[in-house]
């Protein structure tokens, strides 16, 4: 599949009513931020401010962030997810704004937010380095001077792949008129969504730098597939 097709594949998966319902289950919403997310939050120099949350889902992250004092705007490419987040927050006495957009094609006014939070390894859900770097530059534009970016991503823990295997994957993509921009680490995770697993933090740092960010803290727990980083707008 081409990059646009990969994103549309993920959108169709998450737009299914049963998936919208899953992301708004009360026990999930009340679970709050994960331990890894709390570690990243503690490394964030700002404790209040205007926060843009990309990939809001049903509001699991947005609700506790609003509760501790952030002014939260949630973004998702599923309209029902955005509506559910606002309803879930309202039932808890909180107000969260919502935007219906695809995160790699943000259309947000410049210098609008103090913090952008890209949740739940969503960075890895964007196909191709070129598209991810373009997204980073769009995120940078939305941040005010000295703004912060908190990003989560997925690492590739499947072990080393041989050059022959990688070559075969590229040939297959070419012959099927699919993802000509295939990168090592690309998978269709569970046949549900596209995921790019990074083989090293150096590759991540290179993309972040090209996108206009300085890494302040990198958190990649040993033995886990998910990591995160806190960055400042360069």
pLDDT at position 175: 47
Q: DSSP for 26-81?
A: HHHHHH-S-HHHHHHHHH-S-SSEEEEEES-TTSTTHHHHHHTTEEEEEEES-HHH
Which of 65, 39, 68 minimizes the C-alpha distance to 52?
Answer: 65
* Token duo for residue 54: 């990309």
Say whether 16 sits in a helix, a strand or coil. Answer: coil
- List, for residues 54-74, the tens digit of each pLDDT value: 999 999 999 999 999 999 999
The pTM score is 0.89
Name the residue with tokens 């295997």.
165
Radius of gyration for the alpha carbons in the chain, expressed in angstroms and rounded: 17
List the domain range (segments joined by +) for residue 162: 3-233
Domain of 98: which CATH number? 3.40.50.150
Structural domain count of the chain: 1
Chunked in runs of 10, what are the mean pLDDT values of the chain (234 residues)? 89 94 95 96 96 97 98 98 98 98 96 96 95 98 98 81 51 52 84 91 97 98 92 98
């Amino acid at each position: 599949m081409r990059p646009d097709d990969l994103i549309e594949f993920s959108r169709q998966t998450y737009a299914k009513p049963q998936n919208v319902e899953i992301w708004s289950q009360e026990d999930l919403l009340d679970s709050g931020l994960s331990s890894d997310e709390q570690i990243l939050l503690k490394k964030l120099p700002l404790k209040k401010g205007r926060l843009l949350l990309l990939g809001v889902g049903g509001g699991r992250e947005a609700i506790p962030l609003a509760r501790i004092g952030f002014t939260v705007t949630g973004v998702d490419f599923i309209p029902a997810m955005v509506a559910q987040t606002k309803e879930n927050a309202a039932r808890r006495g909180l107000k969260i704004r919502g935007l219906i957009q695809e995160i790699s094609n943000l259309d947000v006014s410049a210098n609008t937010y103090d913090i952008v939070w890209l949740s739940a390894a969503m960075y890895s859900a964007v196909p191709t380095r070129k598209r991810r770097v373009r997204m980073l530059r769009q995120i940078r534009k939305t941040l005010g001077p000295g703004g912060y970016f908190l990003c989560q991503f997925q690492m590739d823990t499947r072990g080393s792949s041989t050059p022959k295997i990688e070559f075969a994957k590229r040939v297959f993509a070419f012959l099927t008129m699919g993802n000509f921009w295939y990168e090592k680490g690309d998978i269709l995770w569970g046949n549900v969504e596209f995921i790019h697993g990074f083989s090293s933090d150096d590759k991540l740092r290179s993309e972040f730098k090209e996108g206009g960010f300085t890494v302040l803290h990198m958190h990649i727990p040993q033995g886990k597939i998910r990591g995160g980083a806190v960055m400042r707008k360069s």
